[in-house]
Structures are given as C-alpha cells and as structure tokens.
C-alpha cells in the first residue's frame, strides 16, 4: 500500500518505513542522522547495519532492490543514529 508524504518517527530501534512491500521509495532525514536498510517483514537484528544519511539527505525515486542489492526483501527500515527520536519523510509505491 503506498504512503504519501508520511512523517515517520524513528528511535534507535529499527522502524519499518514502508507500509508493506514497496518497489520504489523517496525519503529524507528531516531532523537528524538516520540509518536506512532494506529487509523483509521481520525486524532487523540490532547488529544489522544500513546506509547512513545526515539531516536533509535521502533518496528520490530509488528502486528498493537497488538500496542493497545483496539483501532480500522489499521493505525499508530506519533508525536514529542519535539518542533522539528523528523524523524521516517517506513516500513510496
């Protein structure tokens, strides 16, 4: 199911940014640095790593499959790289 301009709060725990499986995603870290990764419906392990994005950084119309070609799954997860709750703006299909 597509999300349109959802503002999603993330903590230091992995939070699913997509509302189910997605093929493309646009996102931007709006309040602080975040880590983003591709995965399945299962929450990634705490030790799992992703790509890091600073405030104001993100991707536009990115194919989920290209986010991490060696990973599987069509969902995107994010978490804060600080002790603060950060916000990620997400739009996906």
Domains delineated in the chain: 3-92 (2.60.120)
What confidence category does residue 72 fall into, taking pLDDT thresholds of 50, 70 and 90?
Answer: confident
Give 27's pLDDT tier (boundaries 50, 70, 90). Answer: very high
CA distance 22 to 8: 16
pLDDT greater at residue 81 or residue 93: 81
pLDDT in tens, 40-71: 999 999 999 999 999 999 999 999 999 887 77
Task: Give yes or no for a contact between 36 and 46, defined as CB atoms under 8 angstroms apart.
Answer: no
pTM of this structure: 0.92
For residue 2, the model assigns a pLDDT of: 53
pLDDT (average), residues 31-37: 97
When computed from its CA atoms, the radius of gyration of the chain, rounded to whole angstroms, is 12
According to DSSP, residue 44 is labeled P
What is the rounded distance in angstroms from the CA atom of residue 27 to the CA atom of residue 46? 22
32 pLDDT above the threshold of 80? yes
């Amino acid at each position: 199911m597509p999300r349109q301009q959802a503002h999603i709060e993330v903590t230091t725990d992995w939070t699913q940014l997509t509302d189910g499986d997605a093929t493309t995603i646009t996102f931007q870290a709006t309040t602080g640095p975040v880590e983003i990764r591709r995965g399945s419906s299962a929450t990634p392990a705490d030790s799992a790593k992703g790509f890091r994005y600073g405030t104001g950084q993100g991707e536009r119309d990115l194919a989920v499959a290209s986010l991490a070609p060696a990973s599987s799954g069509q969902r995107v997860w994010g978490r804060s790289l600080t002790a603060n709750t950060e916000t990620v703006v997400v739009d996906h299909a």
